[in-house]
């Protein structure tokens, strides 16, 4: 483990090169998850840095396991304000944000707009129980982002990542 600003970087020694930094609400204790899960289609994860924002702990942990099993690295935040704090304090750009739309404190849309103002080419995946029409009514441009309907499986998430990475010049 090494200190990175107010975050700690953790390495999974079983699968060298994978690492996650996790942010928890308020105190920001960072910790690692070192389990592996290899299902679903292959996705090129090389160098892809993900900010995962999800307020439901079980879904956040499960999604982390799926992403880690595919070789992704990233930071996870438990709510919108924590995600905004991560965006402010982490000294590298994210390639992809996977966020719940309905979050306590600050919506996923606000997190995305803040991230896009700093890094216009960041790719976006919204996870939501809401359908596309509801998200569009709230101002989400789904031609520039990908929607993953909850509940989802590894194959669905990996397909969404491939679609998001393929989109060019995402705006929100």
Fold of 2-166: Rossmann fold (3.40.50)
As a whole number of angstroms, the longest Cα–Cα distance in the chain is: 45
pTM of the model: 0.74
Separation between Cα atoms, residue 35 and residue 12, nearest integer Å: 9
- CB 55, CB 75: distance < 8 Å: no
Q: What pLDDT is stored for residue 15 in this prediction?
A: 46
Task: Copy the structure tokens of residue 133.
Answer: 């029409």
Place of tokens 């996705």: 43
Q: What pLDDT is stored for residue 20 in this prediction?
A: 52
Contacts 24+ apart (CB under 8 A), 32-36: 32/1, 33/61, 33/64, 33/65, 33/68, 35/65, 35/68, 35/69, 36/65, 36/68, 36/69
Separation between Cα atoms, residue 58 and residue 69, nearest integer Å: 16
Q: What pLDDT is stored for residue 45 in this prediction?
A: 60
Task: Copy the structure tokens of residue 41.
Answer: 């289609």
Q: What is the pLDDT along the chain (172 residues), one digit of tens a residue?
A: 333 333 333 334 344 454 554 443 332 322 332 223 333 344 556 568 899 999 999 999 999 988 888 888 889 999 999 999 999 988 778 899 999 999 999 999 999 999 999 989 899 999 999 999 999 999 999 999 999 999 998 889 999 998 998 875 444 4
- CB count within 10 Å of CB 81 equals 17
- CB 6, CB 24: distance < 8 Å: no
């Amino acid at each position: 483990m090494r200190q990175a600003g107010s975050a700690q970087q953790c390495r999974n020694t079983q699968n060298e090169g994978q690492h996650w930094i996790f942010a928890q609400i308020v105190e920001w204790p960072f910790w690692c998850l070192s389990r592996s899960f290899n299902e679903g289609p292959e996705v090129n994860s090389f160098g892809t840095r993900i900010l995962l924002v999800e307020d439901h702990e079980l879904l956040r942990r499960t999604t982390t396991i799926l992403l880690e099993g595919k070789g992704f690295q990233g930071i996870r935040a438990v709510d919108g304000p924590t995600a905004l704090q991560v965006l402010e304090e982490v000294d590298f750009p994210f390639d992809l944000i996977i966020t719940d739309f309905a979050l306590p404190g600050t919506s996923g849309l606000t997190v995305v707009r803040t991230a896009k103002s700093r890094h216009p080419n960041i790719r976006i995946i919204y996870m939501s129980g809401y359908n596309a029409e509801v998200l569009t009514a709230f101002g989400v441009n789904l031609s520039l982002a990908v929607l993953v309907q909850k509940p989802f499986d590894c194959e669905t998430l990996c397909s969404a990542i491939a679609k998001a990475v393929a989109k060019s010049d995402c705006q929100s």
